[in-house]
A and B are shown apart, each in its own frame.
Chain A
């Protein structure tokens, strides 16, 4: 198990304990923890609705794929620390990382 910290749009912080050996990505972890991440495309770097910013631990994450960078380029609020959570495979290097949810939490009604 590793620990990561997640800030929702309102800035509320939660520490999550997540398994690093189950082949899950961060988007799946966020959904499993009841965050309203739309993830329209199911993790194919094609919708941008799983956008997060990495507040700590950016250097420990794998490189962006072209598809991920391409998608990030189309988002109005992406910064240099932006990632698509569906493209971040959970592994032990992610221990201690801090993520901020950026995608619109569209499930308002």
Chain B
């Protein structure tokens, strides 16, 4: 069991900055994110795009902002559970909470701050019959440990950069690699596309273009995929694994089931302190909604400061909070 003052759900820019605001008030934080890296939309969708509306930073690349935030919060030693989705929250008799993740990590905390953005980033799934029934039984949407595929037959589906990159990488690991792509061109990184065509020419991989996977079969475990070509002929290909790689898309996910007041996939909050309808749970950043809400990083930063000052009363119920500038005492690490 991990014990902390505030469990922050979502490690996007707003969740990260909340660690700073909490740290100034001597509250410790643990962050959970479904993605394997911190940074939320910035790292996942637009790491190389410049942002122009961060006060004091006339132009800053999204990933650079994330890196700076990591540096800024380091003195407060936040801890992380990455690549895990928060599934449930449970209120305890003493009003504290236990947060449980998809990997069954348990976090005991006094306050929950939801900074879940647009929701959990989850893999886009192609419409293939029975696909979900074979998840974990041969169907996987992520290559976490390439060794899993050593000397196996694998089929990848998709045409973007990650499909190309993993095809190239796994061609040296797996027994056989087949890449199925809907069209006959790849627009992603031209270098990767060239390499994939070269691997196909030299017989290192099977490249099946202008085709779609329409069905999968198996007996408790995946053993073949059916591939339909543009002329509608269907071929069966035996395989141990199918890895559809169609990018990630945010989904509200389990947050919808926690008894919070939800309005169009966002959590309604009180703008005095960004508290939700459940005492001790706050929502900041893109995930919340209130009259006049703007989905800007700037606004999320402001919300995190007010949240932290209000959360103080749950973490230190017997202390009075006195407001101080960072210029007075500096940043006192812990």
B126 CB contact (under 8 Å) in A47, A66, A77, A79: A77
| Distance between A51 CB and nearest chain B CB, rounded to angstroms | 10
Query: Which of B88-138 touch A at CB < 8 Å?
Result: 118-119, 124-127
B265 touches A75 (CB 8 A): no
User: In this assembly, does A44 line the interface, its C-beta being within 8 Å of a C-beta of chain B?
Assistant: yes
Contact mask for chain A residues 28-70; partner B; CB cutoff 8 A; 1 contact, 0 none: 0000000000101100101111000000000000000010011
A74 touches B247 (CB 8 A): yes
- In the complex, A22 Cα to B280 Cα: how many Å? 47
User: In this assembly, does A92 line the interface, its C-beta being within 8 Å of a C-beta of chain B?
Assistant: no
Chain B residues closer than 8 Å to A107, beta-carbon distance: 264-265
B265 touches A40 (CB 8 A): no
Per DSSP, are chain B's interface residues mostly helix, strand or loop, or mixed?
Answer: loop
Chain B residues closer than 8 Å to A75, beta-carbon distance: 124, 246-247
Chain B residues closer than 8 Å to A78, beta-carbon distance: 182
- In the complex, A70 Cα to B186 Cα: how many Å? 8
User: In this assembly, does B83 line the interface, its C-beta being within 8 Å of a C-beta of chain A?
Assistant: no
The number of residues on chain A lying at the interface, defined by a beta carbon within 8 Å of a beta carbon of chain B, is 24
B246 CB contact (under 8 Å) in A47, A70, A76: A76
User: In this assembly, does A10 line the interface, its C-beta being within 8 Å of a C-beta of chain B?
Assistant: no
B187 touches A73 (CB 8 A): yes
Chain A residues closer than 8 Å to B41, beta-carbon distance: 40
User: In this assembly, does A106 line the interface, its C-beta being within 8 Å of a C-beta of chain B?
Assistant: yes
- In the complex, A29 Cα to B280 Cα: how many Å? 40
- In the complex, A107 Cα to B46 Cα: how many Å? 23
Query: Which of A81-109 touch B at CB < 8 Å?
Result: 104, 106-109
B247 touches A41 (CB 8 A): no
- In the complex, A80 Cα to B184 Cα: how many Å? 11
- Given A48-B247, A48-B249, A109-B256, CB of A73 within 8 Å of CB of B126: no
Query: Which of B159-216 touch A at CB < 8 Å?
Result: 159-163, 181-183, 186-188
Contact mask for chain B residues 234-246; partner A; CB cutoff 8 A; 1 contact, 0 none: 0000000000111
A76 touches B46 (CB 8 A): no
A40 touches B246 (CB 8 A): no
A76 touches B125 (CB 8 A): yes
User: In this assembly, does B262 line the interface, its C-beta being within 8 Å of a C-beta of chain A?
Assistant: yes
- In the complex, A15 Cα to B252 Cα: how many Å? 31
B183 touches A73 (CB 8 A): yes
